[in-house]
Amino acid sequence: MKKALLALFLAIGFFAHAQSIDYNVHKGYAANGYDVVSYFSGKAHEGLKEYTTEYDGVKYKFESQSNMEKFMAEPTRYLPEYGGYCAYAVAVSGKKVRVDPETFEIRQGKLYLFYNAGNTNTLDLWLKESPNVLKTKADENWKKIKNP
């Protein structure tokens, strides 16, 4: 009986942890603590701790009360695609890769974040290749690598 309870406890812990990796929460917040609403105005702004909320078990920071309220009214409108992981990496390799929160694209009303470090800017690669084809590949890969 104790073994069964232990196995159940471990399984619950595993699934609880597994769900959390569907979101890139580097630095403890979605989008590395950047205001996901601000991206839709064309600029990436860091959020402030005094404007913090939670959605789907993930913390979000905002630069203003107004942006936080916009998010709270329609959270799914502002969520980064692919859990906030690099859209290019999800498309090309089916991997969850951290991002540079200042490297992004809004495409068809959706927020895409990208890795950008050293000599590798995956947004440039995304744009040079076919973004629509890559988006289709990323959508397919995300179904395989995200947790239910």
Whole-structure pTM value: 0.85
DSSP code of residue 146? S
What percent of the chain stands above pLDDT 90?
Answer: 82
Task: Tally the residues of the chain.
Answer: 148
Q: Which is more confident, 15 or 101?
A: 101
CA distances from 123 to 8, 38, 114 (A): 42, 18, 6
Q: What is the pLDDT of residues 23-58, one digit of tens each?
A: 999 889 999 999 999 999 999 999 999 999 999 999
Looking only at Cα atoms, what is the longest distance across the chain? Answer: 58
For the CA atoms of 94, 100, 103, 109, the dihedral, rounded to the nearest 10 degrees, stands at 60
- Contact assessment for residue 46 and residue 61, using Cβ atoms and an 8 Å cutoff: yes
Q: What is the pLDDT of residues 58-68, one digit of tens each?
A: 999 999 999 99
pLDDT band at 5 (very low <50, low <70, confident <90, very high): very low
